[in-house]
A and B are shown apart, each in its own frame.
Chain A
Amino acid sequence: MGVEGIGARVLRKEDRRFITGKGRYTDDMSVPGMKHAAFVRSPHAHAKITGIDVETAKKMPGVIGVLTGAELKADGIGNLICGWMIHSKDGTPMKMGAWSPLATDAVRYVGDAVVIVIADTKGQARDAAEAVDVSYEELPVVVKTAEALNEGAPQLHSEAPGNLIFDWDIGDEKATNDAFAGAAHVTKMDIVNGRLVPNAIEPRATLGVYDAGEDHYTCWTTSQNPHVARLVLSAFYNVAPENKLRVIAPDVGGGFGSKIFIYPEELICLWASKKTGVPVKWVADRTESFLADAHGRDHVTHAELAFDQDNKILGLKVQTIANLGAYMSLFSSSVPTYLYATLLSGQYDIPAIHANVKAVYTNTAPVDAYRGAGRPEASFVLERIMETAARELKVSPAELRRKNFIRTFPHQTPVIMNYDAGDFDATLDAGLKAADYEGFEKRREEAAKRGKLRGIGLSCYIEACGIAPSAAVGSLGAGVGLWESAEVRVNAIGTIEILTGSHSHGQGHETTFAQLATERFGVPIESVSIVHGDTDKVQMGMGTYGSRSGAVGMSAVVKALDKVEAKAKKIAAHLLEADEADIEIKDGDVRVAGTDKSLPWFQVALAAYTAHNLPSGMEPGLKEGAFYDPSNFTFPGGCHICEVEVDPETGVTEIIQFVAADDFGKIINPMIVEGQVHGGLAQGIGQALLEGTHYDDTGQLLTASFMDYTMPRAQNLPSFNIMTTETPCPSNPLGIKGCGEAGAIGSPPAVINAITDAIRNNNLTMPATPQTVWNAIQAAK
């Protein structure tokens, strides 16, 4: 490892612009003639639209255009779609209701967009939006996940009778029932995984610019995957052919999944730019973000876990209702199915698993991937029921887990996944040691003397990253391939540009991707630049989500570096009159191994471009591209341990320590990996303790601002005690597993296991606010 190569704690190259206020986010963009948009949104959770009167609004000061869904439809703009086909267990395809970018006949959640108003200033656009008169005939509303399938529940979409989108199965139901028939003990639980709002601190924004001279569109947008945005806007929504549409995702202020999807707003602003002849910018305010960003989680589950007399797991049964909200967002169907139920085996050797998932419509914001996407829901089910089973069986939660660990790899689970590598004892041991698990009872006694209830909770999670082998996900219904692309351009003076289809919105790609080239060629990291986020610069890519940038995006870079290295060696061998096999590239020099013959790196690059003396038949230039399609998912895993003290008088929970021991495979930059874990933990602990999304019975979102929805703040969190172990991933060239979501996946069950251990009442739903905890304490008395 060099000081700037693989494994080094290189400080971030991108930081300078952010710490000096020179970042360039979508809302910072300004183009000549730019105007501002505001959306008229539904105040009702469910209603028929009986009339839209825009005449008053059109006459308001500064107003340039007031446009409706009828005009959008007339121009041939398509409905929004979900790009992952799920088939119900009876073989029928999922039942997707129509989602018009601007509602025309009905609205189905509070925040559903109805009209766009464009004016000279943001204020004028809002004033005019207030003056648009939409007449509604209110309809009955269904909000709660568990009630969507009830007999007589209000219907959202005629395409989906009974609000049922799909009724999907995984695993072998008969084998699982047989396993349960011979069980010595069965633990049964009802588990709710509440709804979360992602809340990247940068609200979504878009700037649509139509160039009439070129009949060309440019879309600046807060996207985690600009190429997928272009593909979908072009192929499905009919905005423009791909060669007439440039999508740019500049600096993006956090995503956490919520900026993967193609929302109505960017599509409408592009269309409106052509319609009105002006560039149209829209920036969400925070309440709009709460109302209209895709939410996360929202599962209601019943789970049963069967053990034999020796406490070995025999089987797992899971029934889940997943709330997808009012419309199916872009990848919504994949989250409670292939990203959830395929992880239900966890770190354990479970011979038989059967899961059933019913996805439902409700009059709430659409639900899609949010940090972890399905995997936190799976680990919450499994790690809550494991801890509960240990309590029922009166055995150590750590030892019950250890007894059931998978120890031989590859391991085929009953739910599709084939784990390629892992060492679950190693992360458990590291976690237990760091947390002084053995010494806990003494600490509990000491706390009791102070009148505090102390508890400790474990979570041994696994997740699947490196999303994903294209053929595999294609066979499971994905509408896209999930490879990644890279291009390595060596300039004539030896500096390097790496183009990637991955997108950084906080993950530090400009540093970690550059470390790969520095490691390979020994060039200083300052001489390597990363280019991403612009469809005019990077040909194609699938973007960043599912902790895929390292395992998939970097693997593509490695493939392109391999090709560049091979060509550079050919050139050097020719120039140095040596055998190609004897050439090595080290510390910025290209050498003949074992001799003093060498060339500086830049001279090889220069030779490639002057082309005065290249091997016969070789093309000039030193630039190579590669696509990398993974051969398997990757399987990060680890052990999270939370220790809490609860004040029985107030129900206030304090986290005394939080330990995370994670196995991410090979790590490129430990500093950045640690940062990813910290952030994930904050989101997981936020879910466990603070963040609750509340709709009232009429479908009004009661938690639609930072005054009402409790975001984790510095004072709510401890400093974290984190560490890593390493079993390299065998399926990609760098051995990377991925680290972006682990914190959010492993931590919620650890926190709830700790609190329920402290208060001796296992019946506790997230968020465990002081009121909830206090009530649970009273109930246990």
Chain B
Amino acid sequence: MAKVELFVNGRAVTGEAEDRTLLVHFLRENLGLTGTHVGCDTSQCGACVVHVDGRAVKSCTMLAAQASGSTITTIEGLSASGELHPLQVAFRENHALQCGFCTPGMIMTSVDMIRRHPNGLDEATVRDQLEGNICRCTGYHNIVKAVLDASDKMGKGAVKAA
């Protein structure tokens, strides 16, 4: 058994887990944070994306023990104030979700994408950067719109045609 100490969504948590426990399972089963989802076994679908020390990480690619000492943000902790994050708003306003299963991972990936592109995003970049997140419902059309919308509204402005 491994001792796991994390700072999750602004709260210090400790727990014990089998050595082989993945971070996603620790979050879901030990902490009850079921907003982070498991959609595959091969780190392809991205439904499990959380932020580890501020960067988007597929929480199925990391052991819980390996994450020990890290600061984690999950979808539940994205809007700490109770007010929705601009990406959450953009996903709703652009109908960027249907069944909702991939949505937490999509949003967490997109938050990181916008952070990494302070000068704004264009459609091709968004499509390219969503490579690690699979959605079966939306055809991505409205997800791309939502990310661009949020990027705009977060004050960074879309890249103007050069």
Residues of A within 8 A of B (CB): 11-12, 14-25, 27-28, 121, 123, 199-203, 251-254, 256, 283, 285-287, 505-508, 671-672, 674-675, 678-683, 705-707, 711-715, 717, 719-720, 743
Q: Are the CB atoms of A123 and B91 closer together than 8 Å?
A: no
Shortest distance from the beta carbon of B121 to any chain A beta carbon, whole Å: 12
8 contacts between A and B (CB under 8 A): A11-B92, A15-B97, A19-B104, A28-B28, A201-B101, A253-B102, A506-B98, A706-B42
Q: Are the CB atoms of A506 and B144 closer together than 8 Å?
A: no
The one of B36, B45, B79, B130 in contact with A201, judged by C-beta atoms closer than 8 angstroms, is B45
* Shortest Cβ-Cβ A-B pairs, 10 listed: A21-B35, A253-B101, A18-B100, A682-B139, A506-B99, A21-B75, A506-B98, A706-B44, A678-B139, A28-B34
Shortest distance from the beta carbon of A7 to any chain B beta carbon, whole Å: 16
Q: Are the CB atoms of B41 and A202 closer together than 8 Å?
A: no
B126: interface (CB < 8 Å): yes
Q: Are the CB atoms of B99 and A19 closer together than 8 Å?
A: no
- Considering the chains assembled together, what is the distance between the CA atoms of A252 and B36 in angstroms? 15
* Chain B 118-142 interface mask (CB, 8 Å, partner A; 1/0): 0000010011101101111111111
- Considering the chains assembled together, what is the distance between the CA atoms of A679 and B140 in angstroms? 8
The one of B38, B84, B138 in contact with A27, judged by C-beta atoms closer than 8 angstroms, is B38
Q: Are the CB atoms of B99 and A21 closer together than 8 Å?
A: no
Interface of B, helix, strand, loop or mixed by DSSP? loop
Q: Choose among A12, A18, A713 the residue with the greatest number of B CB atoms under 10 Å from its CB.
A: A18
- Considering the chains assembled together, what is the distance between the CA atoms of A679 and B93 in angstroms? 17
B117: interface (CB < 8 Å): no
B6: interface (CB < 8 Å): no
- Considering the chains assembled together, what is the distance between the CA atoms of A15 and B92 in angstroms? 6
Shortest distance from the beta carbon of B151 to any chain A beta carbon, whole Å: 15
- Considering the chains assembled together, what is the distance between the CA atoms of A11 and B141 in angstroms? 17
Q: Are the CB atoms of A678 and B136 closer together than 8 Å?
A: no
Known contacts A19-B91, A20-B75, A707-B42; A200 and B35 CB within 8 A of each other: no
Known contacts A23-B100, A201-B101; A11 and B37 CB within 8 A of each other: no
The one of A21, A27, A714 in contact with B131, judged by C-beta atoms closer than 8 angstroms, is A714
Shortest distance from the beta carbon of B9 to any chain A beta carbon, whole Å: 10
Known contacts A22-B35, A706-B44; A717 and B135 CB within 8 A of each other: no
- Considering the chains assembled together, what is the distance between the CA atoms of A589 and B78 in angstroms? 41
| Other contacts beyond A252-B99, A713-B131: 9, CB < 8 A | A21-B33, A21-B74, A25-B34, A27-B38, A201-B45, A253-B37, A286-B39, A506-B137, A707-B42
**In the assembled complex, which residues on chain B have CB atoms less than 8 Å from the CB atom of A200?**
99, 101, 136
B153: interface (CB < 8 Å): no
Q: Are the CB atoms of B136 and A285 closer together than 8 Å?
A: no
Q: Are the CB atoms of B126 and A507 closer together than 8 Å?
A: no
**In the assembled complex, which residues on chain A have CB atoms less than 8 Å from the CB atom of B116?**
none
Q: Are the CB atoms of A19 and B41 closer together than 8 Å?
A: no
Q: Are the CB atoms of B139 and A715 closer together than 8 Å?
A: no
Q: Are the CB atoms of B84 and A713 closer together than 8 Å?
A: no
Known contacts A15-B91, A20-B75, A21-B34; A719 and B101 CB within 8 A of each other: no
Shortest distance from the beta carbon of A126 to any chain B beta carbon, whole Å: 11
The residue on B at minimum CB distance from A707 is: B42
B63: interface (CB < 8 Å): no
**In the assembled complex, which residues on chain A have CB atoms less than 8 Å from the CB atom of B102?**
201, 253
Q: Are the CB atoms of B98 and A254 closer together than 8 Å?
A: yes
The residue on B at minimum CB distance from A720 is: B141
Q: Are the CB atoms of B137 and A719 closer together than 8 Å?
A: no
The one of A17, A123, A283, A286 in contact with B42, judged by C-beta atoms closer than 8 angstroms, is A286
The residue on B at minimum CB distance from A722 is: B141
Shortest distance from the beta carbon of B4 to any chain A beta carbon, whole Å: 16
Known contacts A123-B20, A202-B37; A711 and B136 CB within 8 A of each other: yes
- Considering the chains assembled together, what is the distance between the CA atoms of A286 and B45 in angstroms? 10
Q: Are the CB atoms of B95 and A674 closer together than 8 Å?
A: yes
- Considering the chains assembled together, what is the distance between the CA atoms of A127 and B39 in angstroms? 21
Known contacts A18-B100, A23-B100, A253-B99; A12 and B92 CB within 8 A of each other: yes
* Chain B 30-53 interface mask (CB, 8 Å, partner A; 1/0): 000111111111101101000000
**In the assembled complex, which residues on chain B have CB atoms less than 8 Å from the CB atom of A11?**
92-93, 95
Q: Are the CB atoms of B42 and A21 closer together than 8 Å?
A: no
**In the assembled complex, which residues on chain B have CB atoms less than 8 Å from the CB atom of A21?**
33-36, 74-76, 104
**In the assembled complex, which residues on chain B have CB atoms less than 8 Å from the CB atom of A254?**
98-99, 101, 136-137
B59: interface (CB < 8 Å): no
Q: Are the CB atoms of B101 and A202 closer together than 8 Å?
A: yes
Q: Are the CB atoms of A720 and B97 closer together than 8 Å?
A: no
**In the assembled complex, which residues on chain B have CB atoms less than 8 Å from the CB atom of A201?**
37, 39, 45, 47, 99, 101-102, 134-137
- Considering the chains assembled together, what is the distance between the CA atoms of A743 and B98 in angstroms? 15
The residue on B at minimum CB distance from A202 is: B101
**In the assembled complex, which residues on chain A have CB atoms less than 8 Å from the CB atom of B20?**
123
- Considering the chains assembled together, what is the distance between the CA atoms of A508 and B137 in angstroms? 12
Q: Choose among B35, B76, B139 the residue with the greatest number of A CB atoms under 10 Å from its CB.
A: B139
Shortest distance from the beta carbon of B124 to any chain A beta carbon, whole Å: 8
**In the assembled complex, which residues on chain B have CB atoms less than 8 Å from the CB atom of A707?**
42, 44
B143: interface (CB < 8 Å): yes
Known contacts A254-B137, A683-B136; A706 and B45 CB within 8 A of each other: yes
The one of B99, B101, B103, B141 in contact with A678, judged by C-beta atoms closer than 8 angstroms, is B141
Known contacts A16-B92, A20-B84, A713-B130; A25 and B37 CB within 8 A of each other: yes
Q: Choose among A21, A252, A507 the residue with the greatest number of B CB atoms under 10 Å from its CB.
A: A21
Q: Are the CB atoms of A706 and B144 closer together than 8 Å?
A: no
**In the assembled complex, which residues on chain B have CB atoms less than 8 Å from the CB atom of A202?**
37, 39, 99, 101
Q: Are the CB atoms of B123 and A719 closer together than 8 Å?
A: yes
